[in-house]
Structure 1
Amino acid sequence: MDARRIIARLRDGETPDHDQLQWFAKGLADGGVTDAQAGAFAMAALLNGLTDEGRVGLTLAMRDSGKVLKWDLDGPVLDKHSTGGVGDCVSLVLAPALAACGAYVPMISGRGLGHTGGTLDKMEAIPGLHTDLEEAQFRDVVARAGCAIVSATKDIAPADRRLYAVRDVTSTVESLDLITASILSKKLAAGLDGLVLDVKIGSGAFMKNMDEAKSLAEALVTTANEAGCKTAAVISDMNQPLAPSLGNALEVAASCAVLTGRKQGALLDLSATLGGVVLANAGLAGDVATGHAMILSAISSGTAAEYFGRMIAAMGGPIKFMDDPKRFLPESTVIREVAAASDGYVSAMDGQALGMVVVDLGGGRKVETDKIDYAVGLSDMTTLGAKVRKGQPLARVHASRMDHAEAAVRAVQKAITIAPDAPVVPDLIREGIG
């Protein structure tokens, strides 16, 4: 085959067939396709789109460009994926809760991207814990602890790694077809029986309106199901941080507070909703409501916390981490309160700006080589609709230096709008797909 003919076919509005997509993905993985050809393919896909069949074909081709895991376990292999938000640490709550309900969760996750935090960065805030496990270690942790949250090896969907890098420098990141294939190729390579997708919408999400979020959710659900993985999606609100904390160690602490029953709120609610959907689809629950109740029971009984602690220990973290998480997590040396500038109601929160505050504090990366400060971030975040008095704390900044803290205080004040009238607060769960 010839890459030029495949690109020309896509350029002319035709979708390459299964064999052509398999060949092209293999060329992406082994270098047989040049960067120029990969960029031309991505631009043609962005401009002309793929058919539903072509999107499935590209997803499977990228999945098959590397190793596809197979499991021999006594329960279904399940996972979730979020399109990214701020204060979104659902994975840390949901993975052990699903394991406590009889599932196995081999969660291949990513690092921070832009203003959104990365699950791997949060996990690595735990001293001694390693997310870059070899396949044998990964399998052992999943079998013993019921769940593992790890980074992808070079053998998982290598075509996606190559095409993603090219998309980033050719202004083709926005292609719905390529986004779908990128997300699902890695998830399907994990050998899943079921998947639930959390598609975010709002000021702290990449998708800013319902039409965009719904289009992505429908593309993901249709493609994954056609590829043989039972999948559904939930569109959830991201007009305010999901957890009361933003930042790696702070979000781990917030997750532990939920797992140990000390905190409730949106993080718990969304985790239970997503868990209920995937448990029902996998046959571990009779319906979504029963699955929702199972997740809440796993958390309230302390079983989910036990699974989380077991996973941490198996991945090199402290054996008794869940006895007192704050004892092990790093803490900032400078803590400053963010005071409300006036009386009123919290009427809007710029989630993207809040996420960038954490990045600017050192809790995220501006370039790939940046070193993460796991301790920094924001805690005790106010919520949309809250009635506040002038001088009342809206959040607390955790920083390593006083000048960083003062800049963060100003940025947080700018990102939170206080108005005289109470706003209409959007529902956390906006819609279900599939």
Structure 2
Amino acid sequence: MSTSEGLSDPAPGPTGSSAAPTAGSRVSIPDVIRKKRDGEKLEEEEIWHFVQAVTRRTMQDGQIGAMLMAIRLRGMTPDETLVLTRAIATSGRVLEWPEEWRGLLVDKHSTGGVGDKVSLPLAPALAACGCKVPMVSGRGLGHTGGTLDKLESVPGFLVSQSPEQMMQILEKVGCCIVEQSEELVPADKVLYALRDVTATVDSLPLITGSILGKKAAEKISALVLDVKFGSAALYPTLESAQQLAQSLVSVGSQLGICTAAVLTKMDGPLGCRVGNSLEVLESLECLEGRGPGDLRELVTTLGGILLWQCGRASSMPHGATHIAKVLDDGSALSTFRAMLQAQGVEAEVARALCAGTQEERFQVLRRAQSQEELVAQHEGTVQQIFALPIAQVLHGLGAGRTQEGQWINHRVGAELLVSVGQRVRKGDPWIRIHYENPELSDADRRNLQGALILEDSEPFAPGSKVAKTILPQKVTGLVVEVGVR
């Protein structure tokens, strides 16, 4: 593949204009930091100069950290955020695709949650519907899981793929799930690492620039964002998550990407399984038309929006129906199997996972050495199962990492044996923990028991995890609310 078919050189400015600094630029980094520290609005040239200095590593880490903190404390206007995102997107090379794929390139991004395995069934389902999905995903950090970590629990799966390899996989399969390459948005890699150690992760303009910078570099046509809120999410309230969602939709639309956002609840885990290999198993169930209802709801909802955005469905409900069909008829599962093989998994391993029994699947992914079930302390109806204590215990048992590059145990995880709204008796098992070394401690058991909330009430049907959908103003002129609870 020639360079023009897979990668283009970074753009000189937001629209090819003179906004990017020239060789004779007199922009001073300390002056830019001081200006933002004092709450002033930055000029386009100043923002571009900052991002290029980050990319070329001509700034000291202390200066970058100071700038990040100034942005975190003082914020950015929508115009500043748009310029920042464009500068990040073009800090490296930009992916290019065949002209005949125009309008079909779509992607999804989640702000992170517990048990959030949506990408695994969604990408092949979209490809089975005729889309092209060049999904650039991340790893887990802190208590939230990472899509790449889940897929790497499959023996042989290679998340590192060059743009040329991505092109080949998309031509053959229709979807790929890969890690960010060194050539793609290098400024974001530097900023993201320093945001984590400078307590600036939750900055709205920095989140917007990081997420949409990568998506703009993918050259996609449509994007749906799953913005989580709740006790196990980055943003605890619906209102704070909505601010981020509106920023993402606005900036994404101005970048030429048809962008929508769905606000979803993240107090309890998504699905019934948490932990890398266990989430692969549950994703396979979803791809077979089975599995937890809340997982299927998010896959069909997000997929339905993307099919509508790119013109392959007449409405969002029609798109959701189309996604449900490819889950039920096996075509999404066949696409997932093809993606596994295209990304390095041996044919027999892919067959055992996608067409094998539960036991064959466990033979591929391997069980943890120990499993232990905890039981309900008294009778009652399950009001809530809080995700954060479960994720924190699993993190301590080796399922997550505290720093980039740390080894994790893909087999550590948890299975929920009861669901919200269900009546349980004293002594009924409610969770099964899979662990190896370290072992489950008494403190872990106490923390886990605190996650189960029982009350003496009648059983009930749990509500939807989808709280709101936000569409571009040019499409709707308003925020569309779906099942606000």
TM-score by length of 2: 0.86
- Alpha-carbon separation, structure 1, partners of 2:417 and 2:32: 51
Matches within 5 A, 1:415-434: 415-421=451-457, 425-434=462-471
Q: Which residue of 2 aligns with 1:363?
A: 399
Alignment-derived partner of residue 127 in structure 1: 155
2:178 maps to 1:150:
yes
Q: Indicate which of 42, 61, 83 corresponds to 2:87.
A: 61
User: Equivalent residue for 1:383?
Assistant: 419
**Equivalent residue number for residue 340 of structure 1:** 376
Q: Relative to 1, partners in 2 of residues 1:39 and 1:402: Cα closer, same or farther, differing over 3 Å? A: closer
1:203-232: CA deviation from partner (whole Å, max 9, x where unpaired): 221211111111111111111111111100
Deviation at 1:368, TM superposition (A): 3.0
Q: How does 1:272-287 map to 2 (within 5 A)?
A: 272-287=300-315
Indicate which of 35, 38, 45 corresponds to 1:19: 45
| Partner SS for 2:261 | strand
| Structure 1 residues 25-44: Cα deviation after superposition (integer angstroms, max 9, x where no partner) | 11101112222221222122
Query: Per-residue displacement from partner, 1:367-391 (whole Å, max 9, x unpaired)?
Result: 3343211111001442222211111
For the Cα contact (< 8 Å) 1:334–1:401, is it kept in 2?
Answer: no
Give runs of aligned pairs for residues 12-411 of structure 1, distance below 5 A.
Answer: 12-72=38-98, 74-75=100-101, 76-319=104-347, 320=351, 321-324=353-356, 325-400=361-436, 403-404=439-440, 408-411=444-447
User: 2-side partners of 1:41 and 1:204: how far apart?
Assistant: 28
Cα distance in 1 between the residues matched to 2:436 and 2:126? 36
Question: What is the identity percentage for the equivalent residue pairs of Structure 1 and Structure 2?
Answer: 39
- Counterparts of 1:218 and 1:328 in 2: how far apart (Å)? 42
My pick for the range that moved more, 98-107 or 202-211, is: 202-211
**Does the 8 Å CA contact 1:205/1:351 hold for their aligned counterparts?**
no
1:423 positional shift: 8.6
Q: Could you tell me whether the CA contact under 8 Å between 2:202 and 2:234 is conserved in 1?
A: no
Contact 1:203 1:349 in 2 (8 A): no
Change (3 A) 1:402 1:228: closer
For the pair shown, which has the larger CA radius of gyration, 1 or 2? 2
Between the aligned partners of 2:234 and 2:35, the Cα distance in structure 1 is 31
Contact 1:125 1:330 in 2 (8 A): no
Deviates more, 1:63-72 or 1:7-16: 7-16
Structure 2 CA distance for aligned equivalents of residues 207 and 386 of structure 1: 28
Q: Distance in 2 between matches of 1:148 and 1:427?
A: 29
Structure 1 Cα separation of the partners of residues 219 and 291 of structure 2: 33
Q: Which amino acid aligns with 1:265?
A: G
Select the structure with the greater relative contact order (CA < 8 A; seq sep ≥ 6): 1
CA RMSD of aligned residues (A): 1.8
Residue identity matched to 1:278: L
3-state SS in 2 of match to 1:403? coil
Range moving further from structure 2, 319-328 or 53-62: 319-328
**TM superposition shift of 1:401:** 5.0
* Partner amino acid, structure 1, of 2:469: G
Which residue of the partner structure matches residue 414 of structure 1? Answer: 450
